[in-house]
Amino acid sequence: MNPELPLARPLTLALAQAASLGEGLQWHAPSGRWWWTDIEGACIHAWTPGASATLQVRLPERVGCFVHARSGALVLAMAKRLARLALPDLQATGSIAAEPETLSTLETHLPTTRANDGRCDRDGAFVFGTLDEADPRQPIGGFYQYTQAHGLRRLALDGVAIANSICFSPDGRRMHYCDTLTRRIMVCDYDSASARVSEPRVFVKKDVDDCWPDGSTIDAQGCLWNAEWGNAAVARYATDGRLLARFQVPVDHVTCPALGGPAGDQLLVTTAREGLSTADLMAKPLSGSLFGTAVTPGLYLPEAMFNDD
C-alpha cells in the first residue's frame, strides 16, 4: 500500500449517542460542527468537537438527508417532501422544535417510499434517492436532482429499493450510488446542468457476506469511503474500485462516513441501533454513537453547498 495512504486503524468513540438510525454525516466548516440526521428519531443533530453539549433540531417528520445552503439555511429531504429550514443560530445547543418550509412534494403516488441518502453535487445541486419501506422492499424508488432553477428532476437511473452511497468525483463528472440490496456500488458519468447520466457500470461488488453498502463520501484523491452495514467497518476504494483499506468500527451497523474536523484530518462515522436485538444492544451498547479516527492530512474534500444564491 502507498505509504501516504492512511493506515487501517480501528475507530474509537467520538460522541456517545443512541441514534435509532444515524445518517447523513457531514463536516460544515462555516459553523465548525459535525451535522447528521437520526432518521427514525425525526431530528437533526450538530456537534462542535470537544464540546459536551449538542444541538438537536426536532422536526415534524423524518429527514432522510439534508445539505447546507450557501445562504446558511438547510435543505431537507424529508420523508415525502423537500423543505427549507433557516436556523437562527448554527452554533446553538440544546433541543429546539422547527417547522420547515415546503419546497416540493416527493413521490406522492408511492405511499411506501421515503427520502433516504443524498448530498450536493460539485455545482451545488441537491441529489438524493428514495427507498421503499414495504416488506419485501421493491425497486420502485428513484434518484432525483433538485435546483432552484429547475426544481425537481428525476435522474434516468433504474428504480431502486434502498438508494444509498451517493457521492461525486472531485471534478463532478462522475456520480457514485447504490441500491443497497444489490451489494453493488455503481458509477456513471454525470452532468449537473442537464441532470443527465450515462449508462451505469459496476464500481465495487462487496466481497464480504452480510456486508451491505450504506453511505459514502469521496476524498481529495478521488477515493471512495463506504460505510458497511453489518460488517462493522468503513472501506476505502481507489478510483478503479480496488480495496485500499478497511477501518474497523466497534459496532455492527455503520451508516455514513465523513472526512473533516477543524484540521481536516478526521474520519467520523454515524451508526445505528435499528435492526439490533436486545442481546445485540446489551453486547454493544454504544450502537448509535459517532466513532472516529485521525487520517492523513489533505484527504478532506469540502462538501459543496446548495446553490441558493
pLDDT in tens, 220-275: 999 999 999 999 999 999 999 999 999 999 999 999 999 999 999 999 999 999 99
What backbone torsions phi and psi does residue 210 show, to the nearest 5 degrees? 60, 30
Long-range contacts of 1-7 (CB under 8 A, 24+ apart): 1/244, 1/245, 4/296, 5/236, 5/244, 5/245, 5/296, 6/236, 6/245, 6/267, 6/295, 6/296, 6/299, 7/245
DSSP reduced 3-state for 197: strand
- What does the pLDDT read at residue 302? 97
Q: How does residue 208 score in pLDDT terms, banded at 50, 70 and 90?
A: confident
Instruction: Tell me the three cell numbers of residue 303.
Output: 462538501
Instruction: Tell me the three cell numbers of residue 85.
Output: 429550514
Query: Quick one: fold of 12-294?
Result: Neuraminidase (2.120.10)
pLDDT in tens, 78-115: 999 999 999 999 999 999 999 999 999 999 999 999 99
pLDDT at 284 over 60: yes
DSSP 182: G
